[in-house]
Structure 1
Amino acid sequence: MVFGGGSGSTAVTVNGLNALSGFSGNSQVNVTLQYTPSPGRTVGVNGPTTISQGTYPVSNGSITVPISSMNSTYGYHLIVTPVSANGNTITVTNPGSQIGTVGTAINGVQIQATDSAAGQTLTYSATGLPTGLSISPSGLISGTPTASGSFNVLVTARDSTGASGAASFTWTVSPVSTGGAICQVTYTKNEWTGGFTASLTITNTGTSPINGWTLAFSFPGDQKVTNAWSATVSQSAAAVTAKNVDYNAAIAPSGNVVFGFQGTWIGNDSNPAHFTLNGSSCA
């Protein structure tokens, strides 16, 4: 149950529990009260903070949960699970907020829980997992995300008596980062005996902006760079590195930047054949 908008000390009543599967006939339920601060609506925050956990009596299918010092800008939610006939309680440890990237397998997340009854084997399930992830009966979440977004996950542990506990957290999956991996470089040269100038155009052919760039290549001949403009250029043997200056660090999708340099040569002034931008190959 998710709610918010109130302030100060109040109480929340949940009705209709006797109509839910697993709750019928229960005189008590386990209740976990959590909140997420308002920044969580627009920026990443830690997982929900647990305010209280306890057992509440059910009266005519309803429970009333008191809340003190409620903040009107926070989002609150209740996790309600039935208490087994044996009266045992299962507590699930919240793993906290998780992150991932589309196409990259996650490090397995093992969900942990404790049971107040001795000798019980817990079985785990989950709802709201990112597409491509799954949870094993032993509580291990694994897989490779296939879609980006923010996912509200609820994990539940249940024992053979029917008792259960739950915890909720967010899982944020980012799209594949193109960074500076998609690029095209044009090398235009003006040559004379013993000298040359070169103009290089870097085009961002990807869908994400490039913020800060380093272009690397190697001369196939004996060229030596003597000065440059619109980039900071350094050379070690045949290897050349060009880095952006303050005013041309950003390259928007389909945009480009141009820089150049002057140099000398003796026997071979062939054009470079391969370029990398921020470590990734360019066309």
Structure 2
Amino acid sequence: MRRTAHRALTRLSLLTLAAGTVMVAPAGPASAAGLTLTVDVGEVVRPATQVASGGLYGVASDTQPSTGMLLPLNPTSFTQPPPGTTHLPNGATEPCCGALEAGPNITRAGAQQFIRLPDIYPDFPYQWQGWNDWEQKVTGIVHERLAATGTTNIRGYELWNEPGWTWDTEAAGSFLDGWTRTFRLVRSLDDTTPIVGPSWAHYEHERMLEFMRHARDTGTLPDVIVWHELGDMQWDSFDDHVADYRAIEEQLGVAPRPIAINEYNSRNQMDIPSVAVHWISVLERHGAREAHRAFWYEPGTFNGLFTLNGEPTASYWAYRWYGAMSGNIVRTTPDSWIDGVTSYDSSRKIVNTVFGGDWGDNTVRVEGLEGFGSAVDVEVRSTPGSGRHTRVSSPTVVTDTTMQVDSGSITVPIEGMNAEGAYQLLVTPADGPTSSWQQVYEAENATVVNAETLSSGSASNGYYVGRIDGSADMRSDSFVDFTANVPESRDYTMTVRYANGTGAASTHGLAYNGGAWSTVSYEPTGGWGEFGTTDVTVSLEAGYNVIRLAKGSPGFGGGTGYAELDSITLS
């Protein structure tokens, strides 16, 4: 955050590499055209959860960006400064973006957040004021969070940020000892909220190994492992970093932790749509739970997805296409500099690929379309390579045509590609998707809080959400938030597909768009992972609605018994 990137490649460097001139490792392709991105609809990678749709300081307040601007991006999580922050980010003259101030906006958008504790300080790098001062600050932050009993979206406390160069060893002692001391203080005040770290500025094996060994031996292992990926074209190393970290866990006998990259992309390349696509692709492919766009510019613009006037930029459309992904992420195989991410929604028979990365005439091959019939509709859209100050009101339709399916495959030509821009390829049966709007919403695609995504052959999409068990308070409440986009304001029948293996009726609370609570009853099914359905009526507004099914939630007395959630269907 707010410093020179580790690899000082400029925007021109990226394009020169993409055009085929070798400047630095990794080398560019031998030619700039004739490349093929391959999509295999039948090979599932993971449920679609918009892993990379998060941001550091992405939300400035309860109104900036507006919730309506955030919802189409389907954000997963953010990193925000603590309540009472005095931080002046990126030359700002006033503090902003406090977690509790921005929290309602983030919740309405269906997302969660980490609180970055050291951003209580005004300056960056942080100016250490002594242990008494730090511990008073940490205690105050945690107390403010605990007093916010209606706030359910705190995903973790980030104890420090980029300690390799911002921790004052001379004044504060070693970072490892500081981590232990701060961890134990936070746990003495709040024994429930996850703790995340160590938040290195970049990944290094020896440093991570030393940290994990120390944390294991002192009983201070973070619940979520965090580091940053900030260099130009650093996406090329992400898979190696994940593999190395997993090997450290195995070496030390530590149970696998979720990985969060809460700063990614470089200052030089932040506003290049094709670079964002590279990051999205590797973060989905190599196992991050969540990732946040780095904060190099103005707060509240989702780090360049909106202009200062709140209008969409070119990169916004890449993330909006990504935000529309549902069902499962499926295998996408890059070719040299062309990469992408693909989802397949079997409920509507929609294949959605977002891709980019090179010049010239290239192709996308989509395999696994045997169930789509003999012909498919193919639509290609593009967004240009313009930066964060340029308004792009809509993407450009490049082509919209019908193609014949040959042995379950099509090969789509993409002529005259721009290496800076991003592209979307939509493939549906020739007569269109099975419904004109999305009606089935899988629980594993939703915002899952204090519960677990599990796999089962009996689940409608191969996955479901179970262990929705918590109702003690706002820190441990278990719920699932579905973000549904409906065509008109009216009553809808909502069919909940659930499992109840208790042998007796159980209940969840139901609320939508922050409204009043009602109760959904679940009769017993054959067992856990064996699903039945129940119908309720919901009154939704045209456009986006956030629907919560909860075992526990502020304002709700708590559900009875237990139930697992597979999906909801609106009709």
Question: Fold conserved (TM > 0.5)?
Answer: no
Name the structure with the higher helix share: 2
What TM-score comes out, normalization by structure 1 length? 0.30
Name the structure with the higher strand share: 1
What TM-score comes out, normalization by structure 2 length? 0.16
